[in-house]
């Protein structure tokens, strides 16, 4: 009886707590949505002689995510936390701060930034443009990683904590290989591919990089590094040779080393930086700095007051490519193709900018999206802006555009195809004592089964499909880029290129970011005054949150337990679960 009442009252208490939490969530969401107008009015009040404070902490994603529960998070631990800094918001706010006469400078507080180098490049270019306007940038950190320092190198002055640290060692990329583990498990991975550089399957059939894979990896990694040190060299007046020597000799170990190498301007504590900022803005030590927090900053210039109905659609394609609706980190061909179609048929939309940040995925889904891009190009200017990744399927959906923009450190190309079927028969039989017996109506009814090896006839059947997809892929690129198919094949074969190298071989047209692509689209459409509209349309953020809390919690627990191995195991899971022929990035890129 005690156990009964204990369980009964425990359930009642649980229901009450859940109800209270649900009410708080709803109140927070309603307050965030209904009260947003009043809140926006409050944050737009910027005092003269203000400084925009940007705390570099978290992941940079292409499109900012809405969080209706942001205000409630400080009261109740109900969600996943930081959803990331949206590059679209970053570029807009820094551009507005450049025009805002009340903003005198930017204070970069560098903590721990994560994101691809192309996104960081766009961020950095926006900061450089801000500084060109005659305003100042001060940067401070307790410790600089290489990504943080690359952004900080734009600053008028760079400060480092006297007891802090700075990393300067060059870039590295590691791949994890599973072949020996699979051999021990008795797992046989059956591979079908076209492209000598198509190394997505290498981790399953080898214990180290092939010479082709090592060549492409070294080439694009060095291209990214050279782009990075060239930018720092121009900002800090240090030669690229000296920057390489500092990395090769591990010269930068303590703050005084960074100061001696002229990578920073002073070793000081933050209170001393704040004193410097007061002097810079002409206020006394006793007065308070007029800081405007980046997430609260909302300024509308005269350029933002637009009366025209003409629009440019910015369509975001972020994540791996699959058939269906997709999700937060996946491109669904149904959803994206519909968004492009809607933009094509909307007479108010005069041009389209497709923002691609994808390692590829399903060949069929990529072709569905490609078709809509090709149709859009016939109707109105259609421009592609490549982000961190626009490789394999990401390039497939880009190649039909009128013009392609990429950053020097964008990862693109990877024009190649593969298929993968694991054979579990030996593993089940030898390790677990499980045997399989099958009944078919026809000779090859179970072709593609993971419970037995494919026959030679079946291998040729599947390989023919791979060759067919590769042929179509290279034809699409040849048509879109006005190149002979043989030339596409010679630079294809699954090889990955940096944006800087892709420009040399006609895979992209111009180096630049999202704003450059938008400006070009406006020019092509003869637009001087226009609005931007973002697609696909956002789903209700509250519905999305309620559906993803459990999944996010599970993901965080797995990430915490697996640490640095999580991305590799996630890649393993993704590749094993793929269906159909793939136009996918050859590996999980983790550049440090």
- Catalytic residue IDs: 198, 392
115 with 59: CB under 8 angstroms? yes
The residue behind tokens 């030669």 is: 239
What is the distance between the alpha carbons of residues 536 and 246, in angstroms, rounded to a whole number?
A: 45
Structure tokens at 28: 């927070």
Burial class, 162, CB count within 10 angstroms (exposed 0-12 / middle 13-18 / buried 19+): middle
Residues composing the chain: 592
- What is the 3-state secondary structure of 6-74? HHHHHHHHHHHHHHHHHHHHHHHHHHHHHCHHHHHHHHCCCCCCEEEEEEEEEEEECCCCCCCCHHHHC
Q: Which helix or strand (DSSP H or E) is residue 240 part of?
A: helix 240-248
The strand ranges marked E within 234-299 are 266-267, 291-293
546 is written with which tokens? 């309620």
Output the CA–CA distances (angstroms, integers) from residue 83 to 52, 67, 68, 146, 331, in the order listed. 21, 8, 12, 22, 18
Residue reference for tokens 């001060």: 138
Strands 330-332 and 349-358: unpaired
Closest to 121 (Cα-Cα) out of 353, 359, 410, 520? 410
Q: Whole-angstrom Cα distance, residue 20 to residue 311?
A: 44
Report the distance separating Cα 197 and Cα 492, nearest Å: 8
């Amino acid at each position: 009886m005690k156990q009964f009442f204990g369980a009964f009252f425990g359930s009642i208490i649980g229901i009450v707590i859940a109800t209270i939490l649900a009410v708080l969530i709803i109140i927070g969401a309603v307050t965030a949505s209904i009260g947003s107008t009043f809140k926006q009015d409050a944050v737009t009040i910027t005092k003269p002689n203000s400084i925009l404070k940007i705390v570099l902490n978290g992941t940079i994603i292409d499109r900012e995510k809405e969080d209706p529960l942001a205000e409630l998070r400080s009261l109740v631990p109900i969600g996943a936390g930081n959803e990331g800094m949206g590059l679209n918001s970053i570029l807009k706010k820094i551009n507005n701060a450049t025009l805002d006469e009340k903003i005198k400078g930017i204070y970069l507080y560098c903590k721990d930034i994560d994101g691809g180098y192309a996104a960081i490049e766009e961020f950095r270019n926006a900061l450089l443009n801000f500084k060109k306007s005659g305003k100042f940038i001060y940067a401070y950190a307790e410790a600089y990683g290489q990504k943080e320092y690359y952004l900080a190198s734009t600053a008028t002055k760079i400060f480092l904590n006297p007891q802090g640290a700075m990393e300067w060692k060059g870039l590295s990329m590691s791949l994890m290989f599973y072949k020996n583990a699979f051999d021990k498990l008795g797992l046989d991975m059956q591979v079908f591919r076209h492209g000598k550089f198509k190394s997505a399957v290498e981790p399953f059939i080898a214990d180290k990089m092939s010479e082709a894979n090592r060549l492409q990896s070294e080439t694009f990694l060095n291209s990214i590094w050279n782009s990075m040190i060239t930018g720092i060299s121009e900002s800090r007046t240090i030669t690229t040779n000296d920057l390489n020597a500092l990395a090769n000799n591990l010269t930068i170990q303590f703050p005084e080393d960074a100061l001696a190498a002229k990578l920073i301007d002073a070793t000081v504590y933050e209170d001393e930086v704040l004193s410097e900022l007061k002097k810079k803005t002409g206020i006394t030590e006793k007065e308070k700095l007029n800081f405007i927090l980046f997430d609260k900053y909302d300024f509308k210039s005269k350029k933002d007051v637009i009366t025209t109905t003409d629009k440019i659609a910015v369509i975001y394609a972020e994540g791996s490519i699959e058939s269906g609706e997709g999700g937060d980190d996946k491109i669904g061909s149904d959803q994206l193709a519909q968004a492009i179609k809607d933009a094509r048929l909307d007479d108010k939309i005069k041009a389209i900018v497709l923002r691609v940040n994808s390692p590829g995925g399903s060949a069929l889904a990529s072709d569905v999206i490609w078709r809509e891009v090709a149709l859009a190009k016939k109707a109105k200017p259609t421009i592609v802006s490549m982000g961190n990744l626009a490789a394999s399927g990401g390039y497939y959906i880009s190649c039909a555009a009128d013009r392609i923009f990429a950053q020097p450190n964008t990862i693109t190309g990877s024009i190649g195809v593969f298929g993968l079927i694991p054979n579990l028969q030996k593993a089940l039989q030898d390790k677990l004592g499980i045997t399989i017996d099958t009944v078919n109506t026809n000779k090859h009814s179970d072709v593609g089964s993971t419970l037995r090896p494919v026959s030679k006839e079946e291998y040729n059947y599947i390989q023919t499909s791979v060759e067919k997809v590769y042929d179509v892929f290279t034809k699409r690129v040849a048509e879109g880029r006005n190149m002979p198919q043989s030339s596409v094949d010679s630079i294809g074969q699954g090889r990955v290129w940096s944006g800087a190298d892709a420009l040399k071989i006609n895979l992209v047209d111009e180096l630049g970011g999202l704003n450059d692509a938008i400006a070009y689209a406006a020019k092509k459409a003869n637009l001087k005054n226009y609005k931007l509209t973002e697609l696909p349309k956002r789903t209700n953020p509250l519905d999305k949150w309620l559906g993803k809390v459990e999944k996010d919690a599970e993901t965080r627990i797995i990430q915490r337990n697996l640490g640095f191995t999580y991305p590799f195991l996630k890649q393993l899971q993704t590749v094993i679960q793929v269906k159909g022929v793939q136009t996918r990035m050859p590996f999980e890129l983790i550049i440090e």
